[in-house]
A and B are shown apart, each in its own frame.
Chain A
């Protein structure tokens, strides 16, 4: 059972890992400008695993920012992980030890969260760990490779690789949207409002991390209020 979950986790982790490598590679190009060596970039990416968060940190390091700004940036840009972690806490079987809870929380990235939450019943820790481990290794290697070889790739290839991540996001959100009308409404509302907020006055001057947090809270709350999910008694 455990072994099967490890295999399943690796299988679903490989496409994520390939996408991560491509995205981390372009992140490495920025990390290099901030003065990171390949070794530091590898360690940093291995333990942080946050695309937007790392991007923010490296640009701050490049701009000689204060330590306080680094912490503030991490808090704001990664606040969605707090929401995801809270959601993931509901997918862990009751009675699971706190060590597993902490480790599974540390695994949370947009994609690892997506595949863990997509499990029909409770998510087994082994599944999350194996998917997280393989994708994190590629993420950290991609960042190190970007630092070493970033300048060598033509910009059109880097630009093409950078949409891999968004393709993965679509693959995570569209199938549930097809099955559940209200998820579909939520996704459409998110696209429309996110697009509107990127050009609207005032709001468009916020960082994209802040906009993501505000829009996520507002849209999710409104949809949850309009269409609460059915609460299954068996899990209660």
Chain B
């Protein structure tokens, strides 16, 4: 693709992605009264993040085993409220060490 077409694609992506974000905010004025809708919106973030984490997490690593162990340890660390950065760092370290071990043992 030539440079001009790439820039058009990028601009389209920027406009579309931000319109998706802004529209609900402009359409929903004030607090939603409907109890079901409020409950639905309450659960959405946890569900969507959980869905995106599994099984993608064990599919991006070089061996599924390292991703699985990182997921387990990550869940325990997060359960113990270790915070965003420590949990992320622990997961990275496990995958790096395990992938290296598995690759050298093959």
Residues of A that sit less than 8 Å from B by CB: 12, 14-16, 18-19, 22, 34-36, 40, 43-44, 47-50, 52-54, 57, 60-61, 64, 67, 70-71, 74-75, 78-90, 94, 98, 101-102, 104-106, 108, 110-111, 113-114, 117, 155-157, 159-178, 182-183, 186-187, 189-191, 193-195, 198, 208, 211-212, 215-216, 219-221, 223-225, 227-229, 231, 235-236
Contact = CB atoms under 8 A, between A and B. Distances in A.
A195 to B, nearest CB: 5
Given A156-B103, A162-B60, A174-B79, 10 more contacts: A15-B85, A44-B10, A49-B17, A81-B21, A84-B44, A85-B21, A86-B28, A90-B32, A160-B95, A236-B33
Contacts of B55: 194-195, 198
A-B interface, 6 closest residue pairs, ranked by CB to CB distance from nearest: A15-B85, A174-B78, A190-B50, A167-B88, A167-B91, A224-B39
A186 B95 contact: no
Interface of B: 1, 3, 6-10, 12-14, 16-18, 20-26, 28, 30-33, 35-36, 38-57, 60-62, 67, 70-71, 74-75, 77-79, 81-93, 95-96, 99-100, 103
Contact of B51 (A19, A105, A194, A221): A194
Contacts, number: 304
Contact of A219 (B39, B47, B81): B47
Given A88-B25, A106-B21, A12 B84 contact: yes
Contacts of A78: 16-17, 20-21
A110 B49 contact: yes
B104 to A, nearest CB: 10
